[in-house]
Structure 1
């Protein structure tokens, strides 16, 4: 089997319930270098929202090629740092799913986030894929991974069930189906609009999915579950999405205001 599959196995092994993989999501080579240099960084992960923002786009407008361009820059860092890379792949860009996954593997990544919410780049709201369709999309990803000699490719299957008004049991049903289809882990997105997942929802989902759960930890607002909390609940993966980018943008604005106002550096 390929050396790249050894890296995929290493990434998969980092997903340990109660001892979660913690990801400080990045969006370009500069952010990737900063994160990869930290002793506690075990892997690199991109955030599509942040990549889109850096390209002057809204998240639904991000193209496959723009996403791959950013991922290539991050991949060069992950290779130098010898850290596994997983790429936020949105909903897979429809008919470009196989082509895109093949390119992701070629640049050296060993995992993706794959959403079950189809985007409408023309301003429409899109919607959830039917469960069987979403399962087949995961199988399609894994078939490409096998063809590219990375059978342990890690799919972090995201469901937006809560975001569209469904309940936690619906999200769990989808999560179980995605694991059955070949996903390694499940990301239940609580959504900014509803304030994320409650502790009770995280606990219920983690128990039902045997800990194979990714939770987005809120860092830009006070309160919320901590790494310690999520570890005790038993999740296997913690991420922060575009929050580092948003904090960085805020810091740049504050410093620029001082400079433009004539304050000493």
Structure 2
């Protein structure tokens, strides 16, 4: 498949009630491993890619390193690749679009794009975030790529008190509708794990909903029944693999 065909195929994988499962990767090696395991598409996690290079999350990883990482993945594995691009390393619509264009140039067919102010406080107003999405969509259309913009809201991830999540659902739904109208392809609600609230968001969202697996979240089959269209694993795979590596190394060094 060429890049446009990969983008179309990736979008088609997002089906309400039959979600695409993305076990997040962080380099070409993990891309090959997950691809060989049967994945239909690949997605990086920003936390994992940053940690693998010795950086903290939150756009601390130089963008040039992230672009090169994406390039190495697309060169190594012939599967659609979505890149977790945080806030696109720019507060302005034009800058965000120009930066996403660099990922398009190395073969990526989608991004996660969040509405929190990276390095600042709170979330962008919905209309400002929508303007950023519109700029990215216009750039991608200019290149003839049906690019997948997974529009993320950080409403739930920013609120650690799960009992308050119900009070955030209406705002999340309104943001999802605004992001859809601006050209978003998917709606990512990391941090949301309550089944009833997930079902409510899925029922109201014009876009396929992405849930991130974390402690307390329903399993994939349960999420499918709730209407979810995409399931991702975030930093979980990286943390699991690093813990296994530490345990194996400790077992060796304990014998010395």
Q: Shared fold by TM > 0.5?
A: yes
1:157-189, CA deviations, whole angstroms, 9 ceiling, x for partnerless residues?
000122344611111110111011111110012
Which position in structure 1 is the counterpart of 2:237? 244
Residue 154 (1) aligns with residue 148 (2): yes
Deviation sequence 1:98-138 (CA, Å, 0-9, x none): 22211111111111110001111xxxx43211111100111
1:42 paired residue among 27, 35, 40: 40
**Alignment match, 2:88:** 92
**3-state SS in 2 of match to 1:167:** helix
Aligned ranges for residues 155-194 of structure 1 at < 5 Å? 155-165=149-159, 167-190=168-191
In structure 2, runs of 5+ residues without a counterpart are 160-166
- Asked if the contact 1:17/1:211 (under 8 Å) is kept, the reply is no
In structure 1, distance between residues paired with 2:110 and 2:207: 19
Partner of 1:193: none
Give the match for residue 57 of structure 1: 55
Distance in 1 (CA, whole Å) between partners of 2:13 and 2:61 is 29
Range with bigger deviation, 60-69 or 18-27: 60-69
Matched, 1:234 2:234: no
What is the CA distance between 1:211 and its match in structure 2?
6.3
Shift of 1:70: 1.7
Whole-angstrom CA distance in 1 between matches of 2:62 and 2:182: 26
> Residue 247 of structure 2 corresponds to which residue in structure 1?
254
Cross-structure match for 2:106:
107
TM-score under structure 1 normalisation?
0.88
- Root-mean-square deviation (CA, aligned residues, Å) is 1.7
The normalised TM-score by structure 2 is 0.91
SS at match of 1:117: coil
Provide the rounded CA distance (Å) in 1 between the counterparts of 2:217 and 2:122.
28
Structure 1 residue ranges without an equivalent (≥5) = 191-195
What is the rounded CA distance, in whole Å, between the counterparts of 1:211 and 1:202 in structure 2?
Answer: 13
SS of 1:156 mapped into structure 2? strand
- Give distance in 2, aligned partners of 1:187 and 1:117: 13
Q: Is 1:201–2:210 an aligned residue pair?
A: no
Task: Please state how far the C-alpha of 1:7 moved relative to its aligned partner.
Answer: 1.5
Task: Count matched residues.
Answer: 245
Tell me if 1:142 matches 2:137: yes
Q: Secondary structure at the match of 2:17?
A: coil
